[in-house]
Amino acid sequence: MGKIIRATAGDGFIKMAAVEAKDIVQRACDIHRCAPTAAAALGRTLCAASIMGNMMKEEQATLTIRINGGGPVGSIVAVSDCEGNVRGYVEDPTVDLPLRADGKLNVGAAVGRDGMLTVSRDIGLKEPYIGSTELRSGEIAEDVTAYLLESEQVPSACALGVLVDTDYSIKAAGGFIVQLMPGAPDGLIDKLEDNIFMMDQLTTILSEDGVDAVFNQVLKGLEHHIVGESEVAYRCYCSRERVAQALTVIDQSDLEEMIADNKDISVKCQFCDADYTFKPLDLQKILESRKK
């Protein structure tokens, strides 16, 4: 399990949410067998999606972040429900690059910068709201910050971090998004910027003191109030029924060809690796249901 905490500060002009997601990212890496650099890229995206999903007010709403910067990891997808429970995958989880000169994982090179970050919000209307921005660095936090400003017109700061231990387990993972409401005084903005610039490394705070300490550093000198706290998890909503429903959209000729082969087919969930087997008789029933 992980945890999301939400707070306000500066007489309501500042809103902040932070997630502790060590177990969530570990679960994702176990499922997809991620190498360290791919683990950091996927983990950061999952943390961002969890926070942004938790910000949505509509019940049953979902938020999807898609990133493709042309780098060796390929596409990264993270999906959150309105509570902040997430699932995701990275196209090539085996990618592991040499460390940067500062000793950090080279997520930017793995993701690339020649592409887009796209956010899709499905709140139950006919069409989801989709916004996107060009990637700035491929490091993900900076790209999320740019998206929030350009597509949602909300001045924000985002930090995301995944610390991979020497045995490739996840030692720490999490992130925060802090947002300024309209009319925030300049002095408040300056104080917040100074705090973020001077704060310790995010994964160090998370591994040594926990997510609560993130608020103490980001909002240092600013009276803040915790307004919400909830548990979150890596959660996939796949089921045999949902997979069967997805098979109904396959071209009729393709379904008929599968049935004629008289072999079982296996469908694997991209998010959790669950394997669903359908026998020719099952496919026949799906075909007949389409014809009705």
- For every one of its 292 residues, what pLDDT tens digit does the chain have, with 9 covering 90 and above? 999 999 999 999 999 999 999 999 999 999 999 999 999 999 999 999 999 999 998 888 999 999 999 999 999 999 999 999 999 999 999 999 999 999 899 999 999 999 999 999 998 888 899 999 999 999 999 999 999 999 889 899 999 999 999 999 999 999 999 999 999 998 898 999 999 999 999 999 999 999 999 999 999 999 999 999 999 999 999 999 999 988 888 888 888 898 999 999 999 999 998 999 999 999 998 888 876 6
Q: Which two tokens stand for residue 276?
A: 């669903």
Question: CB under 8 Å to 51, separation ≥6 — which residues?
Answer: 4, 17, 18, 19, 84, 175, 176, 177
Q: Under 8 Å CB-to-CB from 196, ≥6 apart: which residues?
A: 157, 159, 178, 218
- What is residue 70's predicted lDDT score, i.e. its pLDDT? 97
Residue 218 has a pLDDT of 97
Q: Tell me what pLDDT residue 249 has.
A: 84
Rounded distance between C-alpha atoms, residue 232 and residue 17, angstroms: 13
Q: Output the pLDDT for position 83.
A: 96
Q: Give pLDDT, residue 287.
A: 86
Distance CA 180, CA 184 (A): 6
* pTM for the whole structure: 0.92
Angstrom distance (rounded) from CA 8 to CA 215: 10
Q: What is the pLDDT of residue 292?
A: 63
Q: What does the buried/exposed string (b/e) look like for 168-194 if buried means 16 or more CB atoms within 10 Å of the residue's CB? A: eebebbbbbbbbbeeebeeebeebbee
